[in-house]
């Protein structure tokens, strides 16, 4: 009888240790999964920023439509200035060009060859939030006035409900309730809120 009680107590102790360990590890596993998801989403937001900056350099404005950004990457081209020669220390670049010491030539490269160089990059997936079951980033573009100058701005974002929907108790452990975003509609910034 005494041995049966000892075995029973040992089993209860093992079970309790397992539950204590599991309760300690739950937030750790959650943070690891969130870090993985956020890293992938941040990479995608950086890609959107890169394409937006290229779009602004080409058209002097940001795009407010994700599908038009995909079209831009797949079908548009970007100017690339080639420099032939070197500028002497005694001259400015414009003087060297005027004197013919340095030549500048503009060539056009397909945007897909200049942007998103991680090969093979699935350009059609650019609008979609990773781990969201097909949800799209929110993208807005506008202009703001700073010192009598109109500046183009954009903001791409997603909310935690989109990329954490399948994790239990995410509302308990997750602290970034505003989600992830890059750019701003109120400031001339292309920074992300994770930077």
Alpha carbon of 185 to those of 38, 57, 62, 161: distances in Å?
Answer: 22, 18, 11, 22
Nearest residue to 66 via CA among 151, 164, 139, 154: 139
Provide the pLDDT for residue 178: 92
Percent of the chain, pLDDT > 90? 52
pLDDT at residue 49 greater than cutoff 90? yes
Tens digits of per-residue pLDDT, 70-120? 999 999 988 887 778 778 888 887 788 788 888 878 888 888 888 887 767
Radius of gyration of the chain (CA): 26
Count of CA atoms in the C-beta half-sphere (13 A) of 155: 15
How much is the pLDDT for 119? 66
Q: What is the pLDDT of residue 21?
A: 75
- pLDDT for 103: 82
Per-residue pLDDT, 40: 95
Give the separation between CA 175 and CA 186, rounded to whole angstroms: 24
Tens digits of residue pLDDT in 19-46: 887 777 788 888 899 999 999 999 999 9
* Cβ(181)–Cβ(47) below 8 Å: no
> HEC profile for the chain?
CHHHHHHHHHHHHHHHHHHHHHHHHHHHHHHHHHHHHHHHHHHHHHHHHHHHHHHHHHHCCCCCCHHHHHHHHHHCEEEEEEEECCCCCCCCHHHHHHHCCCEEEEEEEEHHHHCCCCCCCCHHHCCECCCCCCCECEEEEEEEEECCEEEEEEEEEECHHHHCCCCCCHHHHCCCCCCEEEECCCCCCCCECCC
Confidence at residue 108, expressed as pLDDT on a 0 to 100 scale: 86
């Amino acid at each position: 009888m005494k041995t049966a009680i000892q075995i029973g107590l040992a089993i209860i102790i093992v079970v309790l240790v397992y539950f204590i360990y599991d309760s300690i590890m739950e937030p750790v596993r959650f943070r690891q999964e969130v870090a993985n998801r956020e890293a992938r989403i941040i990479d995608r937001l950086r890609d959107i920023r890169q394409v937006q900056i290229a779009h602004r350099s080409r058209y002097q404005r940001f795009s407010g439509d994700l599908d038009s950004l995909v079209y831009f990457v797949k079908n548009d081209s970007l100017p690339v200035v080639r420099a032939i020669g070197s500028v002497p220390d005694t001259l400015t670049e414009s003087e060297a060009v005027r004197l013919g010491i340095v030549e500048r030539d503009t060539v056009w490269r397909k945007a897909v060859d200049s942007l998103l160089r991680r090969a093979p990059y699935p350009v059609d997936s650019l609008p979609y939030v990773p781990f969201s079951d097909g949800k799209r980033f929110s993208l807005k573009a506008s202009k703001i006035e700073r010192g009598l100058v109109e500046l183009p701005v954009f903001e791409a974002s997603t909310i935690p409900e989109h990329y954490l929907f399948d994790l239990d108790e995410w509302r308990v452990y997750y602290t970034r309730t505003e989600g992830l975003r890059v750019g701003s509609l109120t400031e001339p910034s292309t920074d992300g809120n994770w930077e």
